Structure 1
Amino acid sequence: MERRKFLKQSALASSLFFVPSFVKAFETNLDSELGYKRLVIVQLSGGNDGLNTVIPFRNDIYYKSRPNISISKSKTIKLTDDLAFHSSLLPLKRLYDKGYLSIINNVGYPNPNRSHFRATDIWQTASASSQYLQSGWIGRYLDAYGNHPYNAIEIDESMSLALKGERATGIALTNPEMLYKISQDPYLNNIQKYYNDEHLSEHNLGYLYKSMITAKSSATYIHNTNKTWDSKTEYPKTPFANQLKTIGRFINSGLQTRVFYASLGGFDTHVNQLNSQKRLLDVYAEGVEAFVKDLKKQNTFKDTLILTFSEFGRRVKENSGKGTDHGSANNVFIIGENLKKQGVYNNLAALTDLDDNGDIKFEIDFRSIYATVLSKWLHVNEKPVLNKEFEPLHFI
Structure 2
Amino acid sequence: MKTNRRRFLGQSSAVLLGTLPSLVSRAVVADDRALTDHDGKILVVIQMSGGNDGINTIVPYADEGYAKHRKKLRLPTDRLLKIDDSIGFHPSMRSAADLLEQGKLGIVQGVGYPNPSRSHDTSMAIWHSARVGGEDVLRSHGWLGRTMDAARNQADAPDMILVGDEPQPLAIQSRRSTAVTLSDVTDLRLRVPQSEPSAHSGAATSLTRFVEQTMQNATATANVLERNIEKETDASAKYPSTKLGQRMQTISTMVKSGFQTPIYYAIQDGYDTHAAQLPSHSRLLREFSDATKAFLDDVEASGLSDRVCVMGFSEFGRRVAENNSEGTDHGTAGPVFLAGSQVRSGLIGPTPKLTDLVDGDLRMTTDFRNVYQEVERDWLGCKQGLQTPESASSLMLFDV
TM-score bracket relative to the smaller structure: 0.7 to 0.9
The answer on whether the counterparts of 1:315 and 1:327 sit within 8 Å (CA) in structure 2 is yes
Matched, 1:329 2:333: yes
One-letter code aligned to 1:251: V
Matched, 1:166 2:168: no
CA distance in 2, matches of 1:220, 1:176: 21
CA distance in 2, matches of 1:283, 1:380: 31
Q: Secondary structure at the match of 1:395?
A: coil
Give the alignment of 1:199-348 within 5 angstroms: 221=221, 224-225=224-225, 228-229=228-229, 230=232, 231-232=234-235, 233-339=237-343, 341-348=344-351
Query: Alpha-carbon deviation of 1:61?
Result: 1.0
What whole-Å deviation, never above 9, does each CA across 1:172-199 have from its counterpart, x for those lacking one? 11358877727x4679x999x9786998
Matched, 1:395 2:397: yes
Query: Whose helix proportion is higher, 1 or 2?
Result: 1
1:155 counterpart (159, 163, 171)? 163
Query: Alpha-carbon deviation of 1:77?
Result: 0.7
Give the alignment of 1:1-396 within 5 angstroms: 16=18, 21=22, 35-131=39-135, 132=137, 133-144=139-150, 145-147=152-154, 148-157=156-165, 158-175=167-184, 181=190, 184=192, 221=221, 224-225=224-225, 228-229=228-229, 230=232, 231-232=234-235, 233-339=237-343, 341-356=344-359, 358-383=360-385, 386=386, 391=392, 392-396=394-398
The answer on whether the counterparts of 2:311 and 2:337 sit within 8 Å (CA) in structure 1 is yes
Q: Secondary structure at the match of 1:118?
A: helix
Cα 1:196–1:168 shift into 2, 3 Å: farther
Q: Secondary structure at the match of 2:228?
A: coil
Q: Secondary structure at the match of 1:181?
A: coil
What whole-Å deviation, never above 9, does each CA across 1:166-222 have from its counterpart, x for those lacking one? 12231111358877727x4679x999x97869988xxxxxxxx99999899678646
CA distance in 1, matches of 2:388, 2:216: 36
Cα 1:371–1:253 shift into 2, 3 Å: same
TM-score of the aligned structures, taking structure 2 as reference length: 0.80
The answer on whether the counterparts of 2:141 and 2:170 sit within 8 Å (CA) in structure 1 is yes
Query: Alpha-carbon deviation of 1:251?
Result: 0.9
TM-score of the aligned structures, taking structure 1 as reference length: 0.81
Cα 1:369–1:217 shift into 2, 3 Å: farther
What whole-Å deviation, never above 9, does each CA across 1:62-120 have from its counterpart, x for those lacking one? 11101000111011110011100000001111110011111110101111111111111
CA distance in 2, matches of 1:364, 1:20: 42
Q: Secondary structure at the match of 1:260?
A: strand
CA distance in 2, matches of 1:219, 1:389: 49
The answer on whether the counterparts of 1:302 and 1:337 sit within 8 Å (CA) in structure 2 is yes
One-letter code aligned to 2:271: F
The answer on whether the counterparts of 1:24 and 1:168 sit within 8 Å (CA) in structure 2 is no
One-letter code aligned to 1:70: R
* Percent of paired sites with the same residue: 32
2:3 paired residue number? none
CA distance in 1, matches of 2:97, 2:142: 32
How many correspondences in the alignment?
A: 365
CA distance in 2, matches of 1:168, 1:180: 27
One-letter code aligned to 1:143: D
Query: Alpha-carbon deviation of 1:301?
Result: 1.2
Q: Secondary structure at the match of 1:150?
A: coil
1:203 paired residue number? none
Q: Could you list the runs of 5+ residues in structure 2 that have no partner in the other structure? A: 1-13, 28-36
- RMSD over equivalenced CA pairs, Å: 3.6
Query: Alpha-carbon deviation of 1:16?
Result: 3.9
Q: Could you list the runs of 5+ residues in structure 1 that have no partner in the other structure? A: 1-11, 27-32, 201-208
